[in-house]
Amino acid sequence: MTPNAEAKPKARDLWLDVAKGLGIVLVVVGHTWRGLDSAGMIGDPNLFRLIDTIIYNFHMPLFFLLSGMTFESWALTRPWSEAAISRVTRLLWPLLLWTYLFAAARLASGEAANTQMNGLQSLAFWPLPPRDHFWFLWALFLQHLVVLSLIRSVGYPLGTSVWFALAVIVVLASSFTPVGLNAWTFGAATNAGAFLTGLALGPGGLRPQGLLAFALAAAVFLGLQALSFRLPQSLLISQGLGIILTLAFLAMVRILSSGPETPILRLFARLGVASMGIYLAHTIFAAGIRAVLSRITTDVSLHMIAGTLAGIIGPLVIYGIIRRVGRPSWIGF
pLDDT in tens, 61-104: 999 999 999 999 899 888 888 999 999 999 999 999 999 999 88
At 186, the pLDDT band (50, 70, 90 cuts) reads very high
d(CA 215, CA 213): 5
8-state DSSP, 129: S
Cα dihedral value 208, 211, 217, 219, nearest 10: -170
In this prediction, residue 125 has a pLDDT band, given cuts at 50, 70 and 90, of confident
The pLDDT-based confidence of 247 (bands split at 50, 70, 90) is very high
What is the maximum alpha-carbon separation in the chain? 60
For residue 7, the model assigns a pLDDT of: 40
Banded model confidence at residue 9, pLDDT cuts 50, 70, 90: very low
Instruction: Report the alpha-carbon distance of residue 86 to residue 241 in Å, rounded.
Output: 32
CA-CA-CA-CA torsion for 11, 203, 206, 136, nearest 10 degrees? Answer: -100
Pairwise CA distance, residues 308 & 175, whole Å: 33
pLDDT tens sequence across 126-150: 899 999 999 999 999 999 999 999 9
Q: What are the phi and psi torsion angles at 272 (to 5°)?
A: -65, -40
Taking the model in full, what pTM does it have?
0.92
Q: How far apart are the first and last CA of the chain?
A: 9
How sure is the predictor about 3, in pLDDT bands with cuts at 50, 70 and 90?
low
Q: Are 33 and 39 in contact (CB under 8 A)?
A: no
Which amino acid belongs to residue 144?
H
Residue of 134, 143, 16 lying closest to 87 (CA atoms): 143
Q: 314-323 pLDDT, tens per residue?
A: 999 999 999 8
**Other C-beta atoms lying within 10 Å of the C-beta of residue 175:** 18
Which pLDDT does position 124 carry in this prediction? Answer: 74
Q: Taking 80 as the threshold, does the pLDDT of residue 252 lie above it?
A: yes
45 has pLDDT over 80: yes
325 vs 304: CA distance, rounded Å: 32
Q: Quick check: 26 and 278 in contact, CB under 8 A?
A: no
205-228 pLDDT per residue, tens? 888 999 999 999 999 999 999 999
Positive or negative: CA dihedral 81, 84, 90, 93: negative
What is the residue-averaged pLDDT of the chain? 91
**Is the confidence at residue 271, as pLDDT, over 90?**
yes
The pLDDT-based confidence of 110 (bands split at 50, 70, 90) is low
The per-residue DSSP string of 166-204 comes to HHHHHHHHHHH-SSS-STTTHHHHHTHHHHHHHHHHTTT
Question: Which tens digits make up the pLDDT trace of 302-318?
Answer: 999 999 999 999 999 99
Sorted by where each begins, the domain ranges of the chain are 9-331
